[in-house]
């Protein structure tokens, strides 16, 4: 059973990568190492088997193996949210039930995608999944699956099990309005890595993102700057993170993160096709760009990459 309430799930939450071996099998040993690394460097929780976690390249058994491994390795140190989205409500419900039985603290899902679903279809999808387990549900608003309008989000928030929103959009004025309207007990997570500082300032309870796999420690410092009302300091750290992100996004994502994590001395596994696995020399130009960012800001924050 979960030891955390929805209100305990806050702070810096990596949308965890899934790690594969060279034969593209799920690498559970690597997954365990990454759990410890991220917790040791400031992660306040995990968001599993989402789009960053290449969930749609895995079957249900593989996704469940990641969930079981992470929940056991975390061992109650931080909360775990499991993304259960799939093309098909029945499939998502089965993933949600497994997450509950494995000991997850919350579930989440992108809205149904690929086909053009109506608002009523989307509402029923979330209602059916939310009612399938006792776990709180985090609705996921993201451009990749089609942004929901405010009316639908507010309607979904009336469902008893829907207790959070992962908001991956740049309209932080709307996100702040939703936080104000829905109240302190309805948790909102900003999902744009490059706008984490802005999202936290707008009232987000936490941040969930891909680059927190790479440097959760840097984002923990950004969170601290917000808590201290140090606007100038927070903006500087965000700019450093952003320049690294913009340089990295010239490459295939999220595959590039595996290569960059190796710069931190980590055995960070491989991607699964069609995602590309970079050879070390293919990222040499990126490493040079990051050296220039380090020199530009005269910062020690990027010393973690050994450059």
**Which candidate in 47, 100, 125, 140 is catalytic?**
140
* CA dihedral for 271, 272, 276, 280, sign (positive or negative): positive
Question: How many CB atoms are located within 10 Å of the residue 227 CB?
Answer: 10
CATH match for 6-228 among 3.10.450.50, 3.40.50.1820, 1.10.3720.10, 3.20.20.70: 3.20.20.70
pLDDT of 278-305, one tens digit each?
999 999 999 999 999 999 999 999 999 9
Closest to 17 in 3D by CA, of 268, 305, 241, 274: 268
Q: Provide the pLDDT for residue 114.
A: 80
Can you tell me the mean pLDDT for 265-279? Answer: 94
Tokens describing residue 175: 């996100």
pLDDT of 84-95, one tens digit each?
999 899 999 999
Q: Which position has the token pair 């320049």? A: 243
Can you tell me the mean pLDDT for 13-40? Answer: 97
**Which candidate in 47, 100, 126, 166 is catalytic?**
166
Residue 166 bears catalytic tag: yes
Residue 140 bears catalytic tag: yes
Where exactly are the structural domains of the chain? 6-228
Q: Provide the pLDDT for residue 304.
A: 94
């Amino acid at each position: 059973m979960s030891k955390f309430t929805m209100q305990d799930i806050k702070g810096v939450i990596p949308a965890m990568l899934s790690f594969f071996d060279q034969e593209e099998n799920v690498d559970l040993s690597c997954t365990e190492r990454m759990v410890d690394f991220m917790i040791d460097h400031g992660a306040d929780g995990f968001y599993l088997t989402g789009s960053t976690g290449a969930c749609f390249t895995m079957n249900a058994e593989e996704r469940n193996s990641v969930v079981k491994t992470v929940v056991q390795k975390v061992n109650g140190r931080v909360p775990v949210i499991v993304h259960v989205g799939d093309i098909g409500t029945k499939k998502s419900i089965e993933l949600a039930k497994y997450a509950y039985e494995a000991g997850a603290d919350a579930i989440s899902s992108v809205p149904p995608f690929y086909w053009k679903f109506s608002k009523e279809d989307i509402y029923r999808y979330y209602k059916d999944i939310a009612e399938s387990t006792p776990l709180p549900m985090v609705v996921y608003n993201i451009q990749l699956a089609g942004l929901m309008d405010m009316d639908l989000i507010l309607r979904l928030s009336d469902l008893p099990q829907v207790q959070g929103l992962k908001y991956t959009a740049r309209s932080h004025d709307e996100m702040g309005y939703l936080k104000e309207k829905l109240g302190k007990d309805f948790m909102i997570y900003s999902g744009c890595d490059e706008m984490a500082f802005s999202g936290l300032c707008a009232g987000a309870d936490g941040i969930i993102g891909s680059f927190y796999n790479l440097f959760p420690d840097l984002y923990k410092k950004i969170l601290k700057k917000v808590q201290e009302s140090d606007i100038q300091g927070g903006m500087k750290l965000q700019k450093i993170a952003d320049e690294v992100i913009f340089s990295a996004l010239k490459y295939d994502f999220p595959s590039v993160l595996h290569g960059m994590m190796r710069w931190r001395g980590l055995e960070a596994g491989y991607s699964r096709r069609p995602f590309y696995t970079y050879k070390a020399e293919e990222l040499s130009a990126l490493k040079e760009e990051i050296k220039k960012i380090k020199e530009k800001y005269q910062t020690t924050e990027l010393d973690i990459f050994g450059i």
